[in-house]
Amino acid sequence: MRGLVNETRAKAQAHLMPHFTKGAAWRDDKLLVMERGEGCYVFDNEGTKYLDGLSGLFCTNLGHGRTDLSAAALKQMDTLAFYPTWGFANEPATAAATMIAEEAPGDLDEVFFVSSGSEAVESAMKFARNYHLSQGDDQRYKVIARDWAYHGTTLGALAATGIPKFREPFEPMLWDGARHVRNTHGDVVPDGAPASELESVKAIEAMIIAEGPETVAAVFAEPVQNGRGALVPPQGYWQELRRICDTYGVLLVADEVINSFGRLGHFFGSLRYDVVPDMITFAKGVTSAYQPLGGVVIRKPLVEAVWDSPMGAYVHGSTFGGHRSRVRHHPGDADRRRVRTCAPLRGSSESRAREPRRTAQLCPGSPRHRLLLRNRVHARSCERHRHLRGGCCSVTERSAPRIPPRRSTARASR
């Protein structure tokens, strides 16, 4: 056994190139070789058990060792492992897109599949440009993101990423259309003042004005920003982003590659903050990392506006988008119920305060249990987190220049 462990480590160090790992760490003779997983635990090839506190990389939301997920992929591979979605539909991708659209807020009804979070962000960037161009706004191409935000590492997504150590080696290669403003760290609503007085809100509007609203295509933000320390937004922050984007005809993109599929106690973090963005990017937890899958959920009126324009199409695609074997890994009905049960009840602030959260039958180590514990710890870590347990401001419905009006976060079927 010891010989096999050492052999695998040696081969990894000789041939497997790691991601974001220093050479000294990779060459260490104590390099871990992970072998299997069970629930929220993983085991190395020497049998040592570890609590997977990071859920892989914020992605194994359903836990390790789910044989039902692997069986679903195997069954699909036996039927037809792959056929492109370039002009063709297939049942697995259709079922997955329908499930995601049913859980998304408002009229985010169109799902565009890719293979990773970085691809999802770049797809959202390209759709924003595609949409504005289809509507005759050919000067709109810039995106606004926030300092220390992580939006991916491929060159397009890296341009929006605001983490210096990731950007600096590649600065000469980065697209020049991204602008960065301050994030919500340390920003609080002054006593008795509206959220519009937040410095982080003012910074976004000031940047749009400085760059020229006619040149800005989209604002990208995570509901809870992972970079810089899980930054929970002040109450009303997302409603102000929606207001600003509506005012200047800019698309609002919620980057939920990390936040979605139960990470914040909802299928989408936008539901927690009671906002309808124009697009939501996702990846990671969508398959619980059993297969690489990502995508963008887009408001149907925006897609239809592109299709009905002289352009006639969203000019983007990838070979593996909507891969049949990958999309078979979406959460089943039981997993969807677990996420809904963990989430705060939808409705007004008053109803949320009045109705108790259902907490019966919490199985230690289950996805529902881990989500509840994570939310409790997260909510207690700072006084600013108290609003997570209550209701948020309602969405401000405004008619944006050239952008069709939105439905509210609630759906008739819910």
**Residue 77 CB: number of other CB atoms within 10 A?**
13
Residue 220 lies in a domain: yes
Distance CA 239, CA 262 (A): 22
pLDDT, average across residues 358-371: 38
Q: Are residues 181 and 246 in the same domain?
A: yes
Residue 349 lies in a domain: no
Q: Are residues 109 and 179 in the same domain?
A: yes
Taking the whole predicted model, whether its pTM rises above 0.85 is answered as no
Quote the pLDDT of residue 322: 62
Q: Are residues 266 and 190 in the same domain?
A: yes
Q: What percent of the chain has pLDDT over 90?
A: 62
Last residue of a domain, one of 278, 313, 335: 335
Q: Are residues 191 and 103 in the same domain?
A: yes
Residue 93 lies in a domain: yes
Q: Are residues 49 and 123 in the same domain?
A: no
262-287: per-residue pLDDT in tens? 899 899 999 999 999 999 999 999 98
- Does the pLDDT of residue 76 top 60, yes or no? yes
Q: What angle do CA 19, 20, 26 make, to 5 degrees?
A: 75
Residue 227 lies in a domain: yes
Quote the pLDDT of residue 343: 46
Contacts of 143 (CB under 8 A, 6+ apart): 125, 128, 159, 160, 177, 178, 179, 216, 217, 218, 219, 220
Residue 141 lies in a domain: yes
Last residue of a domain, one of 296, 313, 335: 335
pLDDT, average across residues 72-99: 84
Would you place residue 337 in the very low, low, confident or very high pLDDT band (cuts 50, 70, 90)? low
376-393: per-residue pLDDT in tens? 444 443 333 333 323 322
- Does the pLDDT of residue 1 top 70, yes or no? no
Contacts of 202 (CB under 8 A, 6+ apart): 196
Q: Are residues 145 and 254 in the same domain?
A: yes
SS3 content of the chain, % helix, strand, coil (to 5): 40, 15, 45
Residue 197 lies in a domain: yes
- Does the pLDDT of residue 341 top 50, yes or no? no
Last residue of a domain, one of 295, 311, 335: 335
Residue 413 lies in a domain: no
Task: Give me the domain span that covers residue 38.
Answer: 2-58
Q: Are residues 109 and 230 in the same domain?
A: yes
140-181: per-residue pLDDT in tens? 999 999 999 999 999 999 999 999 999 999 999 999 999 999
| CATH classification at residue 111 | 3.40.640.10
Q: Are residues 6 and 107 in the same domain?
A: no
Angle at which helices 199-211 and 237-248 cross, to 10°: 20
Of 215-219, 230-234, 280-284, 338-342, the one with minimum mean pLDDT is 338-342
Q: Are residues 205 and 309 in the same domain?
A: yes
Q: Are residues 323 and 207 in the same domain?
A: yes
pLDDT, average across residues 233-240: 96
Number of domains in the chain: 2
**Of the candidates 336, 342, 340, the residue with the CA atom closest to the CA atom of residue 371:** 342
Q: Are residues 200 and 232 in the same domain?
A: yes
Q: Are residues 135 and 48 in the same domain?
A: no
Residue 268 lies in a domain: yes
6-39: per-residue pLDDT in tens? 899 999 999 999 999 999 999 999 999 999 999 9
